[in-house]
Amino acid sequence: MGPTRKIRLLAAAGALALAGTLGSIAPAMAATMPTATASVTLINHDGKCLDMTGGSTANNAAAQQWSCNGNPQQNWNIVPKVIDGIQYQLIVNSHSGKCLTILDNDPDIGGRVVQSTCNNSGSDPFELWYTFLSSGRSYIIYN
């Protein structure tokens, strides 16, 4: 697997906003999300990392913001998916192998972000994350 890249993460009510450093990413990819699986650390606006509580590998374990410490539960794989011509990403915890999703497929703003066994079929919209470039190398990822 390639080098781990750090991405700045801003969290807000059902949206994950990515902003900042993509490390040694190739210049041609700097304006787009990875088109192949990329290992990343997601960091929010105040320097906290997206982390699985207690390093849990259980389904429905809550994701949290935690001081960045390099532990495996803070490493994520961004896995591109194209469904009906639309680009999505799965966000998979490297430690547990589980996908970031919305608990109980809650459609309301503020639904809890948890990990669960990946469906991988493209039929579970709550594990598919959309991305768009907001400015420079800042990304918004939302479900």
User: What's the pLDDT score for residue 15?
Assistant: 37
Query: What is the pLDDT averaged over residues 46-72?
Result: 93
pLDDT at 67 over 80: yes
Query: Phi/psi of residue 117, each to 5°?
Result: -55, 130
Mapping DSSP to helix (H, G, I), strand (E, B) and coil, where does residue 94 land?
coil
- Over residues 118-140, mean pLDDT: 76
Position 131 pLDDT exceeds 90? no
Give the chain's end-to-end CA distance (angstroms, integer): 26
Task: Report the predicted TM-score, pTM, of the whole model to 2 decimal places.
Answer: 0.73
Q: Are 117 and 98 within 8 A, CB to CB? A: yes
Closest CA to 6 of 16, 17, 20: 20
How, if at all, do strands 38-43 and 5-12 pair?
Answer: parallel
- What are the tens digits of pLDDT across the range 11-53? 332 334 333 222 222 223 333 455 567 788 887 778 889 999 9
- pLDDT tens-digit map of 70-126: 999 999 998 888 888 888 889 999 999 999 999 998 888 888 999 999 987 777 888
What is the structure's pLDDT at 12? 31
Q: Which residues make Cβ contacts (< 8 Å) with residue 62, sequence separation at least 6?
A: 53, 112, 113, 114
Task: Name the pLDDT band for 143 (thresholds 50, 70, 90).
Answer: confident
75 versus 8: the higher-pLDDT residue is: 75
* Euclidean distance between CA atoms 58 and 127, whole angstroms: 16
Residue 37 has a CB neighbour count (10 Å cut-off) of 14
* Least confident segment among 49-58, 119-128, 134-143: 134-143
Please, which pLDDT band fits residue 5 given cuts at 50, 70 and 90?
A: very low
